[in-house]
Structure 1
């Protein structure tokens, strides 16, 4: 592979692993007759933290391992990524999100057949607000993504033992999930929501309901706003 192709593949592969392991823990907790059924929010946030760390380990040697359009936008704003690469990165990330969601569905195929709660099924693919309020939901996603992107940028100002950085990023995701995720499920990543939501729309999932596209703009737009604000603050400070 050429350098650019390998980098884009790393974004696809890393995002696929991210969604497979992240949405996988949601499916494990939410679907009927799973061994982890009912394990709760702490299990989900811990699973997502581990998913991010492992996805970065899998893909980081091939590229920057953004795995998130909001992160890509933020680093483009501060000059750490060529603007010409932003759209290709995002397309690779969304495609990885779709593939990861398909793999979750295949992994838990029998459990989807046993689950009739349409909201629980959609929750194994995409995010949603516990209290639907557009202003509050946007603010929640903006704040969560601001914390994510600003922290990632500031991590670059620190020296970590070689190989430790992905674990620190995973800890960041765990912290955001535990502290800020209770409102909207902390998408903080447009590809994390859009890719799996596309998969939910297209797959022949047993007992599935509506894909809730009327909400889908929030986990796309709000994280991009949060990332831009984080980048602007970073440039002011440094």
Structure 2
């Protein structure tokens, strides 16, 4: 597998993953969207289909990691060379940024309508309220379209939730076996993994919104911080380390268990 294969596959696959995953969040959240208030089931299945699409597109090119936690897990397991890890991680982050920009462009009018709606603006806490809510830093009204956030802000619980959920994802991937290249899942594996992602969302997504992928959260959060949106509010950077560190730890633990108990 060449460096260009890894770059093209991971960038394209991750961009599609974030475009469709962030897209379903936008569809269910934003004013003037036909799918507004579609609910958690729509979001969880939307993310599952997003994983399926990205994995099918990138699977034959780069192995379709699409997730640094998966890349680290495969490197610990031995299916991915450590020398390839930086290229995988950089390509995944770039793809996530591209995907988030595409969500913004696809829903541009809905973002504008949502962020200028008096009801939406009235529901946001003012500066005095935010001083009182020291445990809950400001997160803008559309940040949830881009990135995750906890329902109960508790560092230990939030971190453990991301570790546990990502552990489930990576151990499920590793125990399916690798494709012929030894570097990712085959076609059936992509389908199974997408269903695992739906299951994680339904069962473990409630506390934090189940990032289970560092670039899925970090790339779109960067985009949220940079794009020109009226009244967009904060990007909640004080929380941003949790959906990065938690999934990486969960992926590493899953690979460690796999090597001890399954390999």
CA contact (8 A) 1:31 1:37 kept: yes
Tell me if the contact between 1:125 and 1:196 (Cα under 8 Å) persists in the aligned partners. yes
Counterpart of 2:83 in structure 1 is 84
Unaligned 5+ runs, structure 1:
none
Contact 1:30 1:120 (8 Å CA) reproduced:
no
Distance (whole Å) between structure 2 residues aligned to residue 36 and residue 26 of structure 1:
10
Compare CA radii of gyration and give the structure with the larger one. Answer: 2
Q: How does 1:115-126 map to 2 (within 5 A)?
A: 115-116=114-115, 117=120, 119-126=140-147
Counterpart CA distance in 2 for 1:143 and 1:64 is 24
Give 1:223's match in structure 2, choosing from 235, 247, 255.
Answer: 247
Moved over 2 A (4+): 116-120, 162-165
Partner in structure 2 of residue 36 of structure 1? 35
Cα drift, residue 155 of structure 1: 1.0
Residues paired across the two proteins, number? 234
Match of 2:171 among 116, 139, 150: 150
| Residue aligned with 2:84, SS | helix
Task: Kindly report the root-mean-square deviation, in angstroms, between the aligned alpha carbons of the 2 structures.
Answer: 1.5
Contact 1:48 1:174 in 2 (8 A): yes
Q: TM-score, normalised by structure 1?
A: 0.95
Matched, 1:129 2:145: no
Offset of residue 6 of structure 1? 1.6
In structure 2, C-alpha distance between the alignment counterparts of 1:165 and 1:79, rounded to whole Å = 18
Residue 157 of structure 1: CA displacement?
Answer: 7.6
**Which runs of 5 or more residues in structure 2 are unaligned?**
121-138, 180-185
Contact 2:6 2:87 in 1 (8 A): no
Q: Which residue matches 2:123?
A: none
